[in-house]
Structure 1
């Protein structure tokens, strides 16, 4: 069995910084909002901020929600060419407009000190500058940390080489040191100037250096002395990983080509498939939320029906046979986003600029509104609101042959949205299916209500930013 994930005593030096950075930015935003409100309130009326006033917390919540939906807690990413500071400015304008509208329509203007003229607008303006500055600092800090990321890999079998390639693709600045035996070859990895190799027999010397973590590819091949050395590293605060565990920790996914039967048999997680209580609770939430969504989106769905009818001839709805729980087929319902008879030449994946997609259909796909009729599939028990995306049986045959552990995605009900859908673009090839499955396996292994809640918020972000296809 691969080495069990060891949570070290010290913070991991690069990839754990993503979580740490998000928390620090969130705390910094809360402090910045409180300071901005306090300063503006003092300058305007010489009064201190009332910490028991719920309107203060409503204002803070709306601002933080806007920042989250604008994806500003990942400051080094671009969305539609906009970096975090630009998205912060847009978020502040939108949130400011929403707050102004709420104040106007509820008639609370002037009834509370916080809502007096100039306080909220001034506070939001000061905080916007604060948030922009914090993101600029965060980007510089992340890049400086990435330059010092060094990972030690013990062994160079096929899976280690695949992991190394994935690491180099996902990390632009991280360094790998691979310790091998004299019989092993590392030619594929040695082509990169970010990879160096050494002898596994020199592990005591290498262990004296600073490492972000150690990855053990084949624990059974280590001698007792080398195992003792790893134990000392772990006790000193360096985390020790097996290959699947490090992928799970760094990238929140489980690439199927790096998995092994013994890891799946003995590893933790994958409880949703066997836990009847979790299944029943998930089903109960599906029913309650599906009915709520159906009632809430009914007016929008009526408008969509009218838009599809006016845009192109054909049926409003489109149905397909998809693979469900335990591989059983079922019929899924969607709003039609392609021209009539779009698949007269047979089943095929949709491309980014597929000519078969209608004008209205392109907007439906970008906002994922075309998926709304699947609420009926949820109510009928064929799907869940959250789970792996159901695939077509025609594609399943090919993917099952090419992707190891592909059928694991069907040990749970498919979903309208899911971890793969919010973490990776719409799949249109076997390579995309590999990546989507990696995220699906992570979800199945680590299922929790907290993870479902995270997927809900990320789905809202995808819809608002138009990142679907």
Structure 2
């Protein structure tokens, strides 16, 4: 069972918002813990209080927090390279201790500021490690205790509803789901003991009197006036009522297109990234400022990569490919060549994780996403943005438009070098994977904000540094 599963099935009406804020709460706990541990270590070593106006402690705090973020320590449920959060915290803090100790030694700053003595800093990291591990263990146990009380009322028993309910129970086997079918639906055989069929909507009055974590309306149901009043009363009692797309959007940060309908899209909020909106104009200004800074920063790397590609295999350094841009308009995207020359002489193919067409240097370029850097030019040209849905090849677009509902919505905004789908979904090369990625792209387009772009930027840095490029 994962902590993410608890997010998906909260124990009471307040729990979803609390769990969504869990990374922030853990971050605040780490900041408090680091400062207190530094104060304790200085008092034990120097018998004097910490000087709170001294900038050095805050520098140590920022470096440690950055390391914990890269180790994904703010999602205690995740396992990376076989390591759970406590183990990742221990490894991370050992690494940061060595790094900052070396920095103190090489800079000589310890001669002028006692707080930077290794005899102060290292004990504080040791104490903080215990604090951080305990904090995550307590958080997981707290969420698990609430998950035991999770109870959802599901209205409607269509295939999508049952698939969703079964998926929810796989993620959180502790939860209890009660299904009320529509009047014209027959009795359904549900195999799981904690997923029970309890009649149809005519029984809603009886079930509406109970306490629920939430109510999920899974289809376009024609509620009677009395049923609508019962749902309204549940809302007024503090029980949230969701449509199926709302559940995915609220708890899984995606919008599966098979669940969407024109009416839902027309009346739901969001979609503030459309052409002509102020947010799109501001996004373009930010793109230009950041891309010029990035170009100066990575210029030496671009030259080094070009040399390595030349030495590794015959062929050009850059590779251009036609992609679909804003409104589906084709443009040429530029990348560092990561495949052998004439790799697609037999036609366009989706790349796989261990694609034999990829060169030795190309493997590392893709892993670290360095092959995408020449798209800086596409951003300068206004054909792309730094952040947005990844542009697809026109050859694949034809198939995907036919197979996936609302696929073309992703081209209402400029494509990006990185995006929400790239940092949230693992490597994929099929129509099914394209469908999953589209669900994240739709979430991004509907819920765009500068804060979401900032989150994608930080997640991209972690993906690159941890070698999870695709």
1:136-147 map, 5 Å: 136-147=137-148
After TM superposition, the structure 1 stretch with the greater mean CA deviation from structure 2, 97-106 or 440-449, is 97-106
After TM superposition, the structure 1 stretch with the greater mean CA deviation from structure 2, 268-277 or 212-221, is 212-221
Structure 2 match to 1:108: 109
Give the Cα–Cα distance (whole angstroms) in 2 for the partners of residues 146 and 439 of structure 1.
Answer: 26
After TM superposition, the structure 1 stretch with the greater mean CA deviation from structure 2, 457-466 or 112-121, is 112-121
Structure 2 match to 1:4: none
After TM superposition, the structure 1 stretch with the greater mean CA deviation from structure 2, 92-101 or 353-362, is 92-101
Structure 1 match to 2:292: 291
Structure 2 match to 1:453: 454
Give the Cα–Cα distance (whole angstroms) in 2 for the partners of residues 178 and 38 of structure 1.
Answer: 54
Change (3 A) 1:166 1:271: farther
1:177-326 map, 5 Å: 177-185=178-186, 187=188, 190-199=190-199, 200-218=201-219, 220-326=221-327
Give the Cα–Cα distance (whole angstroms) in 2 for the partners of residues 248 and 431 of structure 1.
Answer: 19
Give the Cα–Cα distance (whole angstroms) in 1 for the partners of residues 306 and 176 of structure 2.
Answer: 53
- Aligned-pair CA distance for 1:105: 4.2
TM-score by length of structure 2 reads 0.92
CA displacement 1:158-185 (0-9 Å, x = unmatched): 4434533543455454332111134214
CA displacement 1:13-33 (0-9 Å, x = unmatched): 3x5453232232122212211
- Aligned-pair CA distance for 1:344: 1.6
Structure 2 match to 1:3: none
Give the Cα–Cα distance (whole angstroms) in 1 for the partners of residues 395 and 174 of structure 2.
Answer: 40
Give the Cα–Cα distance (whole angstroms) in 1 for the partners of residues 364 and 423 of structure 2.
Answer: 18
- Aligned-pair CA distance for 1:117: 3.7
- Aligned-pair CA distance for 1:220: 5.0
Structure 2 match to 1:65: 66
Give the Cα–Cα distance (whole angstroms) in 2 for the partners of residues 186 and 244 of structure 1.
Answer: 25
- Aligned-pair CA distance for 1:58: 1.5
Change (3 A) 1:198 1:20: same
CA displacement 1:45-89 (0-9 Å, x = unmatched): 111122222222111111111111111111111112221122212
- Aligned-pair CA distance for 1:368: 1.0
Structure 1 match to 2:7: none
Tell me how large the CA RMSD over aligned residues is: 2.0
Matched, 1:360 2:361: yes
CA displacement 1:445-469 (0-9 Å, x = unmatched): 0111010000000001111111123
After TM superposition, the structure 1 stretch with the greater mean CA deviation from structure 2, 290-299 or 17-26, is 17-26
Give the Cα–Cα distance (whole angstroms) in 2 for the partners of residues 170 and 391 of structure 1.
Answer: 31
- Aligned-pair CA distance for 1:288: 0.9
CA displacement 1:373-410 (0-9 Å, x = unmatched): 11111111110000001000111000100000000000
- Aligned-pair CA distance for 1:219: 6.1
Change (3 A) 1:111 1:75: same
- Aligned-pair CA distance for 1:262: 0.2
Give the Cα–Cα distance (whole angstroms) in 2 for the partners of residues 378 and 443 of structure 1.
Answer: 19
Give the Cα–Cα distance (whole angstroms) in 2 for the partners of residues 47 and 218 of structure 1.
Answer: 65
CA displacement 1:220-277 (0-9 Å, x = unmatched): 5212222222122112221111121111001000000000000111110111114432
Change (3 A) 1:228 1:366: same
**Structure 1, gaps ≥5 residues long:** 1-7
Change (3 A) 1:376 1:165: farther
Give the Cα–Cα distance (whole angstroms) in 1 for the partners of residues 168 and 283 of structure 2.
Answer: 35
SS at match of 1:321: strand
- Aligned-pair CA distance for 1:439: 0.3
Specify which structure has the bigger relative contact order, considering alpha-carbon pairs within 8 angstroms and separated by 6 or more residues.
1
- Aligned-pair CA distance for 1:11: 4.7
1:377-396 map, 5 Å: 377-396=378-397
Change (3 A) 1:113 1:267: same
Matched, 1:20 2:49: no
Does the CA-based 8 Å contact 1:16-1:250 persist in structure 2? no
